[in-house]
Chain A
């Protein structure tokens, strides 16, 4: 059977750049229920920002018509954030790890570099014409319950 779910959050919004800040702050607030340090929270914000930016840039080619959905789930041993678009799909996402790759030359192809640096696992599932799902996982040491900080 699957892992035990302790808490979860789902949000959905149109692919507008002003929603990137909303997304990272919502996920950061969800994550902050755990005793993560400030650095972890800041890194998580960057990872979510990159994933959502990718949806807007690569998934929907800057069209505001698309829908982006985020599901954050607190399992007993990790935090999993799934960022999904229903756009054109990334055909060559390994290429996105290359600094020089990407359709926006000014963005340096650093999105995946940051996601991989800041998270414990990054999974990408992409299908041409159907969209892309990026799953970001941050391990959380079991035995430190979400309410650990409540007595102060």
Chain B
């Protein structure tokens, strides 16, 4: 699962491509945690624009990163989820704890 990282102000932006399931969850968790430890950003923004599939294993990794960021007093946002991915996010209740945005600028302004 290819991840691309950027930093904007106090926010680490992670751009994700591919399918988020049990197979990719481990690498996703490991790479993001490594970056969080290295850069110590306040907030985390996950760009799901390139994600074509997500299930509970993928959601679990997102929720796990949310817990880490929230523990340090930071906030988290998800952007650009495709309709099928967005439906899963809605059903999971994840939207109750983090913002889901269509565009990145709006998310960065809210964080």
Binding site for B on A (CB under 8 A): 17-18, 20-21, 24, 39, 42, 45-46, 49-50, 53, 56-57, 104-111, 113-114, 117
Asked, given contacts A39-B84, A114-B91, whether A108 binds B22 with beta carbons under 8 Å apart, the answer is no
- Residue from A46, A105, A113 with most neighbouring chain B CB atoms (10 Å): A46
CB–CB A114/B55 < 8 A: yes
B interface, over-half SS: helix
Q: Which of A24, A42, A106 contacts B60 (CB 8 A)?
A: A106
Q: Which residues of A contact B59 (CB under 8 A)?
A: 107-108, 110
Q: Which residues of B contact A57 (CB under 8 A)?
A: 22
Task: Please measure, in the bound complex, the distance between the C-alpha atom of A89 and the C-alpha atom of B84, giving whole angstroms.
Answer: 31
Task: Please measure, in the bound complex, the distance between the C-alpha atom of A105 and the C-alpha atom of B29, giving whole angstroms.
Answer: 14
Q: Which residues of B contact A42 (CB under 8 A)?
A: 84
Asked, given contacts A45-B53, A114-B55, A114-B56, whether A108 binds B23 with beta carbons under 8 Å apart, the answer is no
Binding site for A on B (CB under 8 A): 19, 21-23, 25, 29, 53, 55-57, 59-61, 63-64, 84, 88, 91-92
**Those 3 A-B pairs whose CB atoms lie nearest each other, nearest first:** A106-B60, A17-B23, A110-B56
CB–CB A21/B21 < 8 A: yes
Task: Please measure, in the bound complex, the distance between the C-alpha atom of A133 and the C-alpha atom of B32, giving whole angstroms.
Answer: 35
Task: Please measure, in the bound complex, the distance between the C-alpha atom of A45 and the C-alpha atom of B84, giving whole angstroms.
Answer: 11
Besides the contacts A17-B23, A49-B55, A106-B57, what 6 more A-B pairs have beta carbons closer than 8 Å?
Answer: A45-B53, A49-B53, A53-B56, A106-B29, A107-B57, A114-B88
Q: Which residues of B contact A56 (CB under 8 A)?
A: 22
Asked, given contacts A46-B55, A111-B56, whether A106 binds B63 with beta carbons under 8 Å apart, the answer is yes
Q: Which residues of B contact A107 (CB under 8 A)?
A: 56-57, 59-60
Task: Please measure, in the bound complex, the distance between the C-alpha atom of A50 and the C-alpha atom of B23, giving whole angstroms.
Answer: 12
CB–CB B92/A108 < 8 A: yes
B26: nearest residue on chain A (CB-CB)?
A17
- Residue from A56, A107, A117 with most neighbouring chain B CB atoms (10 Å): A107
CB distance from B96 to the nearest CB of A (A): 12
Task: Please measure, in the bound complex, the distance between the C-alpha atom of A113 and the C-alpha atom of B21, giving whole angstroms.
Answer: 16
CB–CB A117/B22 < 8 A: no
Task: Please measure, in the bound complex, the distance between the C-alpha atom of A67 and the C-alpha atom of B22, giving whole angstroms.
Answer: 17
Asked, given contacts A39-B84, A108-B92, whether A21 binds B19 with beta carbons under 8 Å apart, the answer is yes
Q: Which residues of B contact A105 (CB under 8 A)?
A: 60
Q: Which residues of A contact B21 (CB under 8 A)?
A: 17, 20-21, 49, 53
